[in-house]
């Protein structure tokens, strides 16, 4: 199936501008997306559930719109943990949901479609979003477009790969421990973990928890800001949801402001980091100085974050997944069983300690932000590994205690309820993408996006153009 490469090369902002000017139609973009999906899916397996006929019907009725949140008929992918009415919903390739078809859309998808987004596919995810590598029983692994032998990370791996290859201009993701930031880094694109409540969640799971959030993935910071504007909104069904100001985030990037004081940490004091990754990230962060920022190596004390995260995540898992495990037993993936077993072994006093320590870490971070505007660290501690791996056990001579401890550099920040931008900043000697996290104050999403846009201007937008999947095995 052929497609217009010129349309695929557009950023989301450029494509929406053309839609609003009626210089391109939603139908043309849907067909370009469909053609690109046909071309790259055999190599990457990012979008296992298509809804192209639904998208074509939506495109026939799409209106350009001129509101600041209007996407005017822009094709997107929706992570297979959120529902799209009339489309298969397998909860990340779980055999328990193999034949489920959604009757309603999730609140975020309703808002996006109300703002002119057109879902063309559901993106691949590990089952229930549980792992930091995108592989599952129904759909198999999603592969990294920079080297199809390797992983895209997780759990929003299909989302990041669909954007990186130009299958869509914008993707939705979700993030509890790493799930937007890590795949964005591994695929060389931009992802935002917004402030809790910024994007309304569906009525399931733990509605009062600030750990899981929804957010956008795209190829530039401006595209992410546009996507965030199109998905935010207050919904009574999500008790944490926040009021939205139309176009707030795109407006902040009209004149992005550099942070005056930038703190850099290679490891947040919680994890080993591959030396090549640390060096690439440090060199990129140093270039904030070219925008007038003062850069120093500093970090608040987050040393207890790993144990705190395991305890608090464990309580959430006991509440959310214990009934499912009791009902379905071995049909539930082993990682969920392991998490519940670990949580059950923790004394109640330890859960109380974790909440106290979480509050103390938050207090130290707020004190830190009295003298710093943003904190920056790597978004991944190592380059992508084989796509078939479900976990990482070691980095160098360091053995991780848990199957998720290799993502401590992201989940340490998830605990603190602050916005985090994942921004691509370079490549390893092997040509694999490297990303950083830009961490800001609570509800400071606009400032974090602004800081990212400034650095993107200095170092260049590494993911601006879609990449064609590279298969070293085929080349050999």
Q: Write out the catalytic residue numbers.
A: 79, 155, 179
97, 43 in Cβ contact below 8 A? no
Q: How far is CA 339 from CA 131, 305, 312, 367, in A?
A: 11, 17, 11, 33
Please count the other Cβ atoms lying within 10 Å of the Cβ belonging to residue 6.
9
Chain centroid offset of residue 211 CA = 13
Which residues share a beta bridge with 193? 420
Q: Is there a cis peptide before residue 173, judged by omega within 30 degrees of 0?
A: no
Which residues share a beta bridge with 376? 264, 438
CA 134/CA 402 separation, integer angstroms: 18
Q: How far is CA 464 from CA 18, 44, 57, 163, 423, in A?
A: 17, 19, 29, 10, 12
CA 286/CA 296 separation, integer angstroms: 9
361, 302 in Cβ contact below 8 A? yes
50, 93 in Cβ contact below 8 A? no
Whose structure tokens read 């360091």? 398
**Strand 394-395 and strand 398-399: pairing?**
antiparallel
- Tokens linked to 176: 């509890």
């Amino acid at each position: 199936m052929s497609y217009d490469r010129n349309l695929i090369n557009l950023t989301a902002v450029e494509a929406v501008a053309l839609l609003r000017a009626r210089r391109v139609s939603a139908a043309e973009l849907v067909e370009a997306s469909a053609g690109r999906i046909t071309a790259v899916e055999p190599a990457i397996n990012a979008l296992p559930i298509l809804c192209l006929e639904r998208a074509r019907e939506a495109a026939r009725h799409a209106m350009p719109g001129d509101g600041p949140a209007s996407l005017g008929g822009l094709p997107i992918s929706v992570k297979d943990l959120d529902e799209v009415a009339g489309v298969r919903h397998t909860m990340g390739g779980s055999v328990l949901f193999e034949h489920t078809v959604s009757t309603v859309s999730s609140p975020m998808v309703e808002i996006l479609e109300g703002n002119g987004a057109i879902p063309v596919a559901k993106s691949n995810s590990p089952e229930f979003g549980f792992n930091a590598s995108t592989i599952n029983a129904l759909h198999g692994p999603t592969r990294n477009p920079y080297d199809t032998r390797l992983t895209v990370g997780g759990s929003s791996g299909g989302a990041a790969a669909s954007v990186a290859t130009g299958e869509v201009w914008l993707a939705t993701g979700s993030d509890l421990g790493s799930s937007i930031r890590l795949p964005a880094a591994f695929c060389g694109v931009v992802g935002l973990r917004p402030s809790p409540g910024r994007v309304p969640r569906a009525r399931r799971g733990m509605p009062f928890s600030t750990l899981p959030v929804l957010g956008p993935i795209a190829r530039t910071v401006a595209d992410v800001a546009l996507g965030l504007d199109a998905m935010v909104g207050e919904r009574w069904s999500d008790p944490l949801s926040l009021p939205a100001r139309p176009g707030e985030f795109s407006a902040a990037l009209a004149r992005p402001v550099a942070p005056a004081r930038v703190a850099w940490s290679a490891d947040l004091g919680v994890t080993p980091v591959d030396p090549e990754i640390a060096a690439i990230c440090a060199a990129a962060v140093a270039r904030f100085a070219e925008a007038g920022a003062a850069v120093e190596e500093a970090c608040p004390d987050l040393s207890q974050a790993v144990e705190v995260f395991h305890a608090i995540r464990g309580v959430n898992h006991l509440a959310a997944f214990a009934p499912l495990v009791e009902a379905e037993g071995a049909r539930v993936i082993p990682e969920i069983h392991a998490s519940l077993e670990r949580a059950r072994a923790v004394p109640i006093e330890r859960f109380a300690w974790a909440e106290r320590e979480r509050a103390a870490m938050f207090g130290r971070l707020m004190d830190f932000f009295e003298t710093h505007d943003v904190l920056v660290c790597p978004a991944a501690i190592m380059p992508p590994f084989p796509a078939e791996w479900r976990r990482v056990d070691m980095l160098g001579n360091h053995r991780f205690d848990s199957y998720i401890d290799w993502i401590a550099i992201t989940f340490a920040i998830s605990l603190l309820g602050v916005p985090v931008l994942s921004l691509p900043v370079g490549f390893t000697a092997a040509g694999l993408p490297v990303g950083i996290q830009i961490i800001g104050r609570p509800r400071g999403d606009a400032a974090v996006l602004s800081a990212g846009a400034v650095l993107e201007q200095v170092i260049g937008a590494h993911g601006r153009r879609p990449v064609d999947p590279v298969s070293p095995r085929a080349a050999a």
